[in-house]
Structure formats: C-alpha cells, structure tokens
Amino acid sequence: MNTQPSINVGGLSFEWDLEAGKFQFEGQDSVLFWTSTAMKMFFDSIEEIAGEDAAEVVMETTGYRQGMVVGHYFSEMENVDIAEASALITNTYASAGWGVAEIHKLDVDKATLEVHLKNSWEHKINVAQQKKTGGSFLPAHYAGIFTKLFGKNIWYEVEHHQIDGFNESIIRYLPSEQTIEENIHRLARTNEARQIHRLEKLVDEKTSELTRLVKELSSPIIPVLEGIVVVPLLGTYDEVRAEELLIKTLQNLPTYKAKYLVLDLTGLNNNFTQQAAGLIEKLGATAGLIGTETILVGISPKMSMVIGESGIDILKFNCFQTLQHGIHYALAQNGRSLL
C-alpha cells in the first residue's frame, strides 16, 4: 500500500504522508476542513466569544496579513509580472478549494483592479451561518496580496456580495490610506465609547436611585404624638432640596392633623447658612397659614449669630434648646404631659 500518494492538479502538487499524518500543498504543510460544518463552527465560536463586530475585524485583519504573505511569495518570483502573478494566484486558490477568482480591469499603472469571487469557502460558511451580509476575510486577503504586488497600500470596496443574491461577489481594489491598524483602533474606540456609554447609563441610574433615596431619607416627617410632628433638618439645603422639603412638609401636615410642627435644627450645626435661616422662616410662616404652630429646637450659638445677621425674626416662633423640651411644650399647650 502506497502511504505517500500524490497528484498534480492544474500544475499544482498535492501529497499525503499517511504514516506521518501529513498533507502537503505545493510542498507546504496544509490541513483540510469541512467548510459548512467544522469551519462554520470555528467562525461561530469566534463570533460568540468576541462578538460580531470584533470578529469581523479579526477576520479582516487575518485575511489581509495572510494576503501579504502570499503577495510577498509571488512578488519574489523571477520574471513574473503582476498580471502573471495574478493568474498564478487565482489558479492556485481554485486548486485549493477557495472558489473561482477572476481578475478584471487590472491597471498596473493606477494600481487598480476588480476581483470577482464565486462560490468561495467564505461564502459557503456565510450561507451555512445564515448570514445576511458577506464576510471580510477574502476581500481583505486580496487587498493584502496586491499591497505586496503593487508595493503600495491597497484597500477594497465591495460592490456586492454573492450572498446578496448575485451570481458572484465583486470587489474593487485601489490605493488607499485606510489600513487594518486603523480599523483595529476604530474598533477599540467604538468599544471604549460603548463601555463609557454603559458606565454613564449605570451612573445615571444609580444617581437617580440615590436621589430618590436621599429624598425619602432627608428631612423625614415623624409623627411622634397625636397632633405633633417632628422634622429634623439635615445637611445642606439648596434651592431644589428646600423646595422639596417645603412641599413635602405642607402636604403631610394635614394628613397627621398636626397642631405643632417641631423643626429640629441640630443637624444643621455645621451647615447653617442664611439660606437655611430663610427656609426655616418660610416653612414656619407657611405652616401657620394652615393652622400649624412651628416650634424650633436645637438652636446653637453659631446659628443665633447667622439668624441675627440675616435679619430674620425668629421670636415669632417658640424656641427651645432640645427636642424633648419642644415636645413637652407642645403637650402642655393641650393640657397633657409625658409621665
């Protein structure tokens, strides 16, 4: 039994060494894969792991760089011009099962041409994948080949793919400043922009949640006893937060049938400003319009100075040093007391 059979197809040699498990095409180690099954799974796996956008750039980059290797090989042949090298390449690829490739409109001076591809292995894989658009490996592959043959950067424009319903794919090639490195950087920037957008969205969502939580927790209305509610003022009050406190308090006072509103200012010791003083006056005055008396507790000497400088008259409100004193006062007005 001959364990090293060989054949010649179209002037190209194919050899097998069954004992060594080797297959050679034109004297180079090669491998054979089923296109619509094994190779399809290979492409599917790349897309599954990297994502379709990244997979396309990977295949385009790989195709181009492999084309550069092929172009270098044929450019080193003696007494072979670009037209002859093109014919040799298409014949070689047809023998290797890459489909039918024809070179059209080759203009060596302008470094332009068209490549017509029919029934390529990439097309067959795309069909097996049920793709709607053609792949980028082979278009970029020929760009790499002719970049080496012409000695200048060549890129491609797809007129149409066979998978679009045409008899063949037509790809135009011309000198260009576009490079695979640029495409890789563009993908990186796109992914970076997507990541930034995702993080911005996450920050916005978390900020909204935090804002809602702050609204719920800041200055809560606490009904301590019948007819008495306490509102502890905490932190710094800008215009928006002050308006929210005012609305929230006035909406809830009737709900609790509050006769007395005790404003606990203890939490403002380090953040007491004239704006905060103005808020207290406005809150107390507005509460009085709906029949609720305001009591201030927890006023520090520093607060007294700020209130004095603001010109706000707090004598209209009953003021006590501690929250306990304020609540005792409110109870006493109704003839009650804490035991």
Q: Can you give the CATH number for the domain in which 255 is found?
A: 3.30.750.24
State percent of the chain over pLDDT 90. 36
In a domain, 185, yes or no: no
Residues 251-263 as b or e (16 or more Cβ within 10 Å = b): eebeebebbbbbb
Distances (CA, A) of 97 to 35, 91, 108, 118, 243: 10, 10, 27, 11, 75
Per-residue confidence (pLDDT) for residue 201, from 0 to 100? 74
Q: Say if residue 43 is in the same domain as residue 169.
A: yes
Q: Say if residue 55 is in the same domain as residue 72.
A: yes
Q: Say if residue 174 is in the same domain as residue 42.
A: yes
Q: Say if residue 152 is in the same domain as residue 274.
A: no
State percent of the chain over pLDDT 70. 90
Strands 28-30 and 22-25, by their bridges, are antiparallel
Q: Say if residue 251 is in the same domain as residue 323.
A: yes
Per-residue confidence (pLDDT) for residue 193, from 0 to 100? 62
Q: pLDDT-derived band of residue 121, with 50, 70 and 90 as boundaries?
A: very high
In a domain, 201, yes or no: no
CA distance 161 to 122: 11
In a domain, 155, yes or no: yes
Q: Say if residue 50 is in the same domain as residue 5.
A: no
DSSP structure class, residue 232? E
| Interval 234-293: pLDDT, tens | 877 878 888 888 888 888 899 989 999 999 988 886 777 888 888 888 889 889 999 999
Per-residue confidence (pLDDT) for residue 321, from 0 to 100? 87
Q: Say if residue 3 is in the same domain as residue 58.
A: no
- Which has the closest alpha carbon to 162: 96, 92, 93, 99? 99
Contact call for residues 143 and 153 (beta carbons, < 8 A): no
In a domain, 139, yes or no: yes
| Interval 53-87: pLDDT, tens | 888 888 889 999 999 999 998 988 888 899 999 99
Q: Say if residue 113 is in the same domain as residue 38.
A: yes
Q: Say if residue 9 is in the same domain as residue 125.
A: no
Mean pLDDT of 142-152: 95
Q: Say if residue 132 is in the same domain as residue 225.
A: no
* Type and span of the H or E element at 44: helix 40-50
Q: By residue range, what is the domain housing residue 273? A: 218-332
Q: Say if residue 6 is in the same domain as residue 62.
A: no
CA distance 331 to 227: 9
In a domain, 339, yes or no: no
Domain count across the chain? 3
